[in-house]
């Protein structure tokens, strides 16, 4: 009896032990090497127990390298523990601090406090981080629960919140540029330690979280399988979930406060634990933190070993290592995700006059943006005598914003139709992230300043590659809409982590990158503006040609095939059009704006539900939003300026949450 029980258990433990050994051995060797570099190994035990602090070597052993190793283990374990709780409670293999918006919210709160109200930080970073992290997580949940609640939707809501919080933080930093690299070093998850303070607080925070989890473990193990089974046992699934999510969020926010944002570990560790044979929740609760601790330990030591002077922060490194891992895991993960919710394929003819009205409204808005503004003497209309001086400055920005809006709005509407997912948008598909990666690749490969042309070429190439990658992963098994979006999500996160690492590097070109990332029309030339506008108008004109595809595709592949539609080809063509549009727009307004997500919803809210009209209206509305954002950005805090892309994101998200909540979209 005992024999038969023992055998499967031994089989389950074997791959896990092998994996742990594979992680721990190189980490240990690197650590021994680094430790010997600080202090002869035989003196370490004494230095840790009762250090002679007057000896710099013993000081560094006891208060720098020692705590750093400990923090890498503790932070890794804590993030993996939080990730295990969140994935189980939400029955969502991709739920963790970075995907639910927790880390970004905590990071935004800390950035804002650092720049504008440092006095808030005197009492400790944890409280500020917790407030921001909890608020952002609540926002993700609110956004996801508008109409029906699904794991995919939660992750996408979390991404919207994450990207918006990132935009808001970038806006703040654009206004206080002198701290940029310092804030980014911390944001990108540096494990540098200046004593044992962080290690101590992480230790008790993790211990408290474990204690708080103990009474929930049994209930969670059952809930992970089925709510009804839990209810039959007399549990309140909602309460158990809420309590578990709270523990996970608080723990993750505490880690963010201590060491910054370390992405993907909370997802990667539980996923690896499962792959290594930890099939039950209880087994993962032990195995995942163990793996998480070892993974961060190894990552941090590898980063230290590879660094020459300026060190890549460990948080950025986990993103770089973790993103491909997650992408590789996606096909497996997919099977455990429930179906995505489909946009209702309602078809109703709206009056063409409405479309005309929107177009006229935009014309009026453009005239306002060109003519009305602020100067030394206050708000005023441009006098004809000033036209020759001021219009060459204003017109390219306004026209570029309008053109980029047309492109993004059309792309958003196309993607939402094709994927049948109301959360689809160019920002979330990873196309924008790909453009960012293209520019970063050029900056890393050469040390010259970037010209607009080389940046354009690289952004375009990056966007094309990312789209290809996302499509390749997403379409491999029958064009599943969710997988497409999830793959895009990881491309976006990967790009932003890498960008943060570059901004932290102290490279003088970081400022240029920052300007571009924040989506400012400041440097747009007349030629670029005209190109964006022409491309936008061309896409607008192409949309009616795709009306039939757009109407039939959301009905699902079987129906579409039955109606004689070449499903894969039509999807491919529409997604390619969306990708090209996005790449062109991103060059002008940067990778973040969200008008591509919001505008199609606004169009539907206005009653434009026939596919081609919806897409055209979405394009026009997105143009209006970006023109308005650009105008506001130029005037509100004159003579300072807020980038249009950021302003559109920061103002757009609350509007979007409201739309989703009221269920009118």
Partner 1 sequence: MTFPKTGTGALSRRAFLALGAAGLAVRPAFAADMRVACVEWTAAATLLSLGVAPVAAGDVPDYPTWVVEPAMPRSVIDLGSRFQPNLELLVEIAPDLVVVTEGYGVDAGTFASLAPVHTLKTIPADGESALANAAAEARRLAERIDRPEAALRLEAETQAAFDAARAGLAPLAGAPVCVASLFEERSIRIYASGLVDEVLDRIGLLNAWDGETGGWGFSYVGIERLATLPENTRLALLDPLPDPVRLRLEASSLWANLPVVREGRVFQVPPVWPFGGLDAAGRLARILAQALGTS
Closest CA to 244 of 293, 209, 272, 288: 209
Nearer of residues 439 and 620 to partner 1, judged by Cβ: 439
Least gap, CB of 445 to partner 1 (angstroms): 17
List binders of partner 1 among 46-105 (CB under 8 A): 53-54, 56, 59-60, 63-65
Nearer of residues 59 and 302 to partner 1, judged by Cβ: 59
List binders of partner 1 among 165-194 (CB under 8 A): 174-175, 177-179, 181-183, 185-186, 190, 192-194
Given a contact cutoff of 8 angstroms between Cβ atoms, the answer to whether 435 and 411 are in contact is no
Peptide bond into 539 cis (omega under 30): no
Q: Kindly tell me which residue out of 133, 266, 373, 426 binds partner 1, with binding defined by CB under 8 A.
A: 373
Q: Kindly tell me which residue out of 1, 5, 119, 214 binds partner 1, with binding defined by CB under 8 A.
A: 119
Least gap, CB of 82 to partner 1 (angstroms): 23
Q: Which stretch binds partner 1 (CB under 8 A): 268-276, 371-379, 469-477, 551-559?
A: 371-379
Neighbouring C-beta atoms of residue 50, cutoff 10 Å: 10
Task: Determine the Cα–Cα distance for residues 179 and 168; give it in Å rounded to an integer.
Answer: 16
Helices (H) and strands (E) in the chain, counts: 29, 2
Q: Kindly tell me which residue out of 450, 475, 507, 547 binds partner 1, with binding defined by CB under 8 A.
A: 507
Given a contact cutoff of 8 angstroms between Cβ atoms, the answer to whether 60 and 271 are in contact is no
Least gap, CB of 596 to partner 1 (angstroms): 25
Question: 534: which 2 tokens?
Answer: 């022409």
Nearer of residues 129 and 271 to partner 1, judged by Cβ: 129
List binders of partner 1 among 629-648 (CB under 8 A): 634, 638-641
Nearer of residues 304 and 540 to partner 1, judged by Cβ: 304
Nearer of residues 41 and 449 to partner 1, judged by Cβ: 449
Regarding 308 and contact with partner 1 (CB under 8 A), the answer is: yes
Residues in the chain: 665
Given a contact cutoff of 8 angstroms between Cβ atoms, the answer to whether 450 and 502 are in contact is no
Task: Determine the Cα–Cα distance for residues 435 and 141; give it in Å rounded to an integer.
Answer: 29
Given a contact cutoff of 8 angstroms between Cβ atoms, the answer to whether 521 and 396 are in contact is yes
Grouping H, G, I as helix, E, B as strand and the rest as coil, residue 10 is helix
Least gap, CB of 380 to partner 1 (angstroms): 11
Q: Pattern of binders to partner 1 over 392-411, x per CB under 8 A?
A: xxx-----------------
The DSSP secondary-structure symbol of 476 reads T
Regarding 37 and contact with partner 1 (CB under 8 A), the answer is: no
Nearer of residues 196 and 341 to partner 1, judged by Cβ: 196
Whole-Å CA distances, 304 to 178, 245, 317, 319: 27, 34, 11, 16
Nearer of residues 187 and 582 to partner 1, judged by Cβ: 187
Closest CA to 81 of 102, 103, 96: 96
Q: Kindly tell me which residue out of 122, 228, 384, 385 binds partner 1, with binding defined by CB under 8 A.
A: 122
Regarding 309 and contact with partner 1 (CB under 8 A), the answer is: yes
Task: Determine the Cα–Cα distance for residues 193 and 154; give it in Å rounded to an integer.
Answer: 34
Q: Which stretch binds partner 1 (CB under 8 A): 324-332, 348-356, 368-376, 598-606?
A: 368-376
Nearer of residues 120 and 246 to partner 1, judged by Cβ: 120
Nearer of residues 601 and 634 to partner 1, judged by Cβ: 634
255 class by beta-carbon count within 10 Å (0-12 exposed, 13-18 middle, 19+ buried): buried
Grouping H, G, I as helix, E, B as strand and the rest as coil, residue 373 is strand
Nearer of residues 149 and 381 to partner 1, judged by Cβ: 381
304 class by beta-carbon count within 10 Å (0-12 exposed, 13-18 middle, 19+ buried): buried
Given a contact cutoff of 8 angstroms between Cβ atoms, the answer to whether 88 and 244 are in contact is yes
Regarding 558 and contact with partner 1 (CB under 8 A), the answer is: no
310 class by beta-carbon count within 10 Å (0-12 exposed, 13-18 middle, 19+ buried): exposed
Size of the site for partner 1 (CB under 8 A): 57
List binders of partner 1 among 191-230 (CB under 8 A): 192-197
Chain positions contacting partner 1, by CB under 8 A: 53-54, 56, 59-60, 63-65, 114, 118-119, 121-122, 174-175, 177-179, 181-183, 185-186, 190, 192-197, 308-310, 373, 375-376, 389-390, 392-394, 505-508, 511-512, 514-515, 520, 522-523, 634, 638-641
């Amino acid at each position: 009896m005992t024999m038969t029980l023992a055998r499967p258990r031994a089989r389950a433990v074997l791959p896990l032990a092998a994996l742990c050994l594979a992680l721990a051995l190189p980490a240990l060797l690197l650590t021994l090497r680094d430790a010997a570099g600080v202090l002869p190994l035989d003196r370490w035990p004494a230095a840790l127990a009762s250090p002679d602090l007057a000896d710099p070597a013993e000081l560094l052993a006891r208060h720098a390298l020692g705590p750093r190793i400990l923090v890498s283990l503790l932070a890794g374990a804590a993030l993996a523990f939080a990730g295990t709780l969140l994935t189980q409670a939400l029955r969502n293999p991709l739920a963790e601090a970075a995907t639910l918006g927790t880390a970004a919210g905590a990071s935004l709160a800390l950035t804002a406090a650092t720049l504008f109200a440092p006095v808030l930080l005197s009492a400790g970073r944890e409280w500020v981080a917790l407030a921001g992290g909890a608020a952002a997580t609540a926002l993700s949940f609110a956004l996801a629960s508008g109409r029906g609640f699904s794991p995919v939707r939660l992750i996408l809501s979390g991404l919207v919140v994450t990207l918006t919080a990132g935009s808001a933080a970038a806006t703040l930093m654009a206004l206080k540029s002198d701290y940029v690299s310092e804030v980014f070093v911390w944001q990108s998850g540096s494990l540098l330690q200046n004593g044992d303070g962080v290690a101590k607080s992480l230790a008790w925070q993790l211990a408290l979280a474990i204690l708080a989890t103990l009474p929930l473990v049994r209930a969670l193990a059952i809930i992970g399988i089925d709510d009804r089974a839990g209810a039959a046992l007399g549990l309140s699934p909602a309460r158990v979930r809420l309590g578990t999510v709270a523990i996970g969020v608080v723990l993750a926010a505490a880690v963010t406060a201590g060491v910054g944002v370390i992405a993907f570990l909370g997802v990667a560790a539980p996923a690896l634990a499962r792959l290594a044979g930890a099939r039950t929740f209880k087994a993962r609760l032990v195995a995942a933190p163990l793996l998480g601790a070892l993974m961060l330990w190894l990552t941090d030591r590898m980063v230290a070993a590879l660094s020459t002077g300026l060190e890549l922060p460990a948080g950025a490194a986990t993103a770089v290592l973790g993103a491909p891992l997650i992408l590789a895991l996606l096909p497996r993960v997919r099977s455990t995700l429930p179906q995505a919710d489909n946009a209702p394929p309602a078809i109703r003819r709206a009056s063409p006059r409405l479309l005309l009205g929107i177009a006229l409204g935009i014309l009026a808005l453009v005239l306002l943006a060109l003519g009305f503004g602020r100067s030394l003497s206050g708000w005023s209309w441009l006098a004809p005598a000033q036209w020759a001086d001021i219009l060459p400055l204003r017109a390219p920005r306004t026209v570029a914003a309008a053109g980029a809006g047309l492109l993004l709005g059309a792309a958003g509407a196309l993607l939402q139709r094709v994927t049948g997912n109301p959360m689809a948008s160019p920002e979330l598909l990873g196309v924008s992230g790909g453009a960012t990666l293209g520019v970063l690749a050029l900056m890393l490969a050469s040390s010259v300043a970037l010209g607009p042309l080389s940046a354009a070429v690289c952004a375009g190439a990056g966007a094309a590659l990312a789209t290809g990658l996302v499509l390749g992963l997403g379409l491999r098994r029958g064009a599943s809409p969710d997988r497409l979006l999830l793959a895009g999500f990881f491309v976006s996160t990967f790009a932003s982590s890498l960008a943060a690492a570059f901004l932290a590097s102290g490279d003088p070109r970081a400022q240029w990158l920052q300007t571009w990332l924040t989506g400012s029309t400041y440097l747009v030339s007349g030629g670029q503006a005209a190109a964006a506008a022409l491309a936008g108008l061309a896409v607008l004109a192409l949309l009616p040609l795709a009306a039939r595809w757009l109407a039939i595709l959301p009905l699902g592949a079987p129906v579409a095939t039955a109606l004689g539609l070449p499903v894969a080809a039509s999807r491919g063509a529409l997604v390619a059009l969306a990708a090209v549009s996005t790449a062109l727009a991103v060059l002008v307004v940067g990778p973040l704006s969200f008008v591509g997500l919001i505008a199609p919803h606004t169009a539907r809210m206005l009653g434009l539900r026939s596919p081609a009209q919806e897409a055209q209206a979405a394009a026009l509305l997105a143009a209006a939003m970006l023109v308005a954002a650009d105008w506001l950005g130029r005037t509100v805090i004159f003579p300072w300026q807020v980038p249009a892309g950021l302003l559109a994101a920061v103002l757009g998200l609350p509007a979007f949450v409201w739309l989703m909540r009221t269920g009118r979209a």
